[in-house]
């Protein structure tokens, strides 16, 4: 689902309704997004997940990293070194993953890192393609956002391909509030500068 390119940040709740939409399609390259979810009601309940043979986890215990890597690859992420995934998980503040009870494999995943007080970045939101379309992306995002907001963290960022920005808008994310733009360090750009 998510790969890279879009940063998200929250607006005060009064600003959310005043945000104007920008019709220029080129403005979605690195837009700043806002998240404001004061009272989250889940699109798919834990009970509904369980009735479909799926169980939600909030810790990495039991998560097979090779199987998670297979989900990453299935959605177009590069294959990652499992040892590096383990280190990333050790530095993760919040994570949600969904396991198929039938196959004992992860089928959806999302995690967030941050300073634990003001800022968080959501990474690696993925749903196995064979399980897409049943609300698992929303299930992991709603619960991850709820956990971050309960901790008092409201400056929430994530990276997204422009083609999936519409997935995040119903969850309270809006593009480019107040004309703010994000930037990303580019090693390629820096290498060209040194030539």
Active site (catalytic) residues: 168
**DSSP string for 98-135:** EEETTTTEEEEEEEEEE-SSSEEEEEEEEE-GGGTTSS
Contacts of 156 (CB under 8 A, 6+ apart): 8, 9, 10, 35, 112, 119, 120, 121, 122, 145, 148
Cβ–Cβ under 8 Å, residues 125 and 167 = no
d(CA 5, CA 51): 36
* Cα Rg of the chain (Å, integer): 17
d(CA 106, CA 103): 9
From the CB of residue 84, how many other CB atoms can be counted at a distance below 10 Å?
A: 10
Contacts of 181 (CB under 8 A, 6+ apart): 30, 31, 32
């Amino acid at each position: 689902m998510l790969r890279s390119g879009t940063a998200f940040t929250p607006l005060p709740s009064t600003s959310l309704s005043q945000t104007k939409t920008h019709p220029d399609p080129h403005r979605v390259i690195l837009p700043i997004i806002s998240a404001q979810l004061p009272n989250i009601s889940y699109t798919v309940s834990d009970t509904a997940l369980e009735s479909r043979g799926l169980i939600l986890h909030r810790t990495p215990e039991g998560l097979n990293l090779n199987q998670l890597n297979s989900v990453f690859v299935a959605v177009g992420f590069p294959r990652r070194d499992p040892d590096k995934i383990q280190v990333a998980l050790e530095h993760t503040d919040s994570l949600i993953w969904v396991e198929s009870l039938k196959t004992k494999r992860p089928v959806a995943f999302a995690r967030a890192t941050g300073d634990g007080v003001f800022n968080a970045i959501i990474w690696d939101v993925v749903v196995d393609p064979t399980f897409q379309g049943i609300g698992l992306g929303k299930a992991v995002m709603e619960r991850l956002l709820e956990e971050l907001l309960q901790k008092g963290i409201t400056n929430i960022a994530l990276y997204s391909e422009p083609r999936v920005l519409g997935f995040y808008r119903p969850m309270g994310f809006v593009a480019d509030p107040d004309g703010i733009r994000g930037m990303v360090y580019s090693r390629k750009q820096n290498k060209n500068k040194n030539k």
